[in-house]
A = this chain, B = another copy of it.
């Protein structure tokens, strides 16, 4: 179908998510950039082998299991990244690197090999509002940091609107789903190490360090991929019961709530959350209790038949606190 055969390399990237206690984790590897230099965090990746892999996600499952010993359950395609300047190697005559990124949800498990689980809020400290407004915000980009204001100031009104919507400034509300918009805005404003690195590598001149903590960087555009995943997942739990992919077969309502809070990064009202999921038919009690430190909690399970009853069953806008 493609007329001339373009010089394209196709890879697959995996954002593999698990939640342990109240911390959402992603699987990362360490990678030394081809240009040398210190090792960087990276998302697991692998090639598509057309001879082996009948479909893209089979390819993904194949090498993820090979590399990490982890069998994947829920897998969903996220986005395909094909920008010219995602890999500096291309500017030296390399092929265009196109990556299809996938989101995978797993229950916590140990992983072999050099992969390791990391708190995803290490990469996005400004996304965690569970204990109130994150400190990173005020140090990085809030009213205090002049960088973002400066970036807005000179520019046309559209830029201010973007910043307001993305970061909930000027009376706008903080929308947990806009993870990618926030990441891209910080990148454009040169507040992220990756942005400064890419600029240097393109030879567009260096930008001074600002010394502000702007989260842990990753190789290439992997943090952008991660932001895409986080935003998508936050959106999805609202209308599809994907949370249960991260939980054991039975769980207490507090466990469920904790996982949802970990994902959305916002605190929830306990009683209303209970009403939402129980009265909303999303879960059903098993009758069994479990010790908790206080009054014993009932164990619940996902109620599959909710899929037939409600059009978009998920942990919707409801039960929000503050």
Give A contacts to B, CB under 8 Å.
1-11, 45-50, 53-56, 77, 79-80, 82-85, 87, 90, 95-100, 161, 164-165, 170-173, 175, 177, 220, 304, 307-312, 317
Known interface pairs A55-B84, A82-B48, A85-B54; A5-B308 also in contact (CB < 8 Å): no
Further pairs besides A50-B96, A77-B79, A172-B307: 18, Cβ < 8 Å: A1-B47, A1-B99, A2-B9, A2-B47, A4-B49, A6-B9, A6-B47, A6-B49, A8-B9, A10-B98, A55-B83, A56-B80, A80-B80, A82-B100, A161-B307, A173-B310, A175-B311, A311-B317
Could you say which residues of chain B place their CB within 8 Å of the CB of A49? 4, 6
Q: Which residues of B contact A304 (CB under 8 A)?
A: 161
Given contacts A54-B83, A308-B170, contact A95 B48 (CB under 8 A): no
Contact of A3 among B46, B173, B309 (CB under 8 A): B46
A-B pairs with the 7 shortest C-beta distances?
A2-B47, A50-B96, A172-B308, A2-B11, A56-B82, A54-B84, A80-B80
With a cutoff of 8 Å between Cβ atoms, the chain B residues found around residue A308 in the complex are: 161, 164-165, 170-172
Query: Which residues of chain B come closer than 8 Å to A317, judged between CB atoms?
Result: 311
Q: Report chain B residues within 8 Å CB of A48.
A: 2, 6, 8, 82, 96, 98
Our pick among B56, B82, B97 for the contact of A1 (Cβ within 8 Å) is: B97
CB of A80 within 8 A of CB of B77, answer yes
Assembly stoichiometry (copies) = 2
A312 to B77, CA, bound (A): 23
Which residue from chain B places its CB closest to the CB of A31 in the assembled complex? B1
> Known contacts being A172-B309, A175-B311, A308-B172, is A4 close to B83, with CB within 8 Å?
no
A53 to B5, CA, bound (A): 14
Most B CB atoms within 10 A — which of A56, A82, A317?
A82
Q: Which of B5, B84, B161 is the one whose CB lies under 8 Å from A9? A: B5
Chain B residues positioned under 8 Å from A309 (CB to CB): 171-173
Which of chain B's residues has its CB closest to A10's CB? B8
- Some 26 contacts from A to B, beta carbons below 8 A apart, are A1-B99, A3-B46, A4-B47, A4-B49, A5-B9, A6-B9, A6-B47, A8-B8, A8-B10, A48-B98, A50-B95, A55-B82, A55-B83, A55-B84, A56-B83, A56-B98, A80-B100, A82-B100, A161-B304, A164-B308, A165-B308, A171-B308, A172-B307, A173-B310, A175-B312, A177-B311
Q: A220: which B residues are within 8 A, CB to CB?
A: 1
Chain B residues lying within 8 Å of A82, measured Cβ to Cβ, are 10, 48, 55-56, 100
A54, B54: Cα distance in complex, Å: 29
State the CA gap A310–B49 with chains docked (Å).
45
Partner of A84, one of B5, B50, B79, B80: B50
CB distance from A188 to the nearest CB of B (A): 15
A79 CA to B56 CA, complexed, in Å: 12
